Amino acid sequence: MKPEIEVKFADVNHDELRAKLTALGAECVAPSRLMRRYTYDFADDRLRNERQGWIRVRDEGDKVTLSYKQLNDRTLTGTHEVNVTVDSFERADDFIRQIGGVEKSYQETKRESWRLDGFEIELDEWPWSKPYIEAEGPDEAPLKSLAAKLGLDWGKALYGSVEIIYQQEYDVTDDEIDALPRITFDMPAPDCLRTRR
């Protein structure tokens, strides 16, 4: 299992970032599309309780991935993962359930994917939050350089899973976000997202 070397910047203007990416010669490799995912644990929540881990099946529009993810800490290299590509969202979901996985959440997001000089850059939207950007690269120094080119303040860099994005806008804990059984664009915001920071 290897670390994701990944950084997030909250509350960004996607139109401005597209213009900057285009000016830098970046390539849009996948236009904005709806992505859907299930997250799982076992009935006793052992992955979360013992390792801060979870299983995910994600339909990315052009492929389906099955992943085990583990949040060791909220640093640049604190999230570790192992991914495999599978041929069916529904069959992967059935597989996880058949071996004892229990659905914890169904989630929808929108993502637009760009590539620039070996960097993976994602323009992301989750329900009830402001747009953000996620960038993955080889290590910290090149990511800092990329952030500077895009006009992003490295002092505002965020690490870890999406809970940290919600926490920029709402007075909410990781546990409250993780306990939401559905996160979809057609739903009203849940009660835990009523109090803004």
What is residue 1's predicted lDDT score, i.e. its pLDDT?
Answer: 84
Sign of CA dihedral 194, 159, 19, 63: negative
What is residue 14's predicted lDDT score, i.e. its pLDDT?
Answer: 98
Task: Please name each of the domains of the chain with its CATH number.
Answer: 2-193 (2.40.320.10)
What is residue 102's predicted lDDT score, i.e. its pLDDT?
Answer: 98
Positions in the chain short of pLDDT 70 = none
Q: What is the mean pLDDT of the chain?
A: 96
What is residue 174's predicted lDDT score, i.e. its pLDDT?
Answer: 93
- Residue 67: both structure tokens together: 């992943």
Q: How far is CA 43 from CA 46, 51, 113, in A?
A: 8, 15, 34
Distance between CA atoms of 115 and 125, rounded to whole angstroms? 18
pTM, two decimal places: 0.93
What is the per-residue burial (b if ≥16 Cβ within 10 Å, else e) of 56-74? bbbbbbeebbbebbbbeee
What is residue 59's predicted lDDT score, i.e. its pLDDT?
Answer: 97
Distance between CA atoms of 69 and 51, rounded to whole angstroms? 10
Q: What is the pLDDT of residues 4-18, one digit of tens each?
A: 899 999 999 999 999
Distance between start and end Cα atoms, the chain: 36
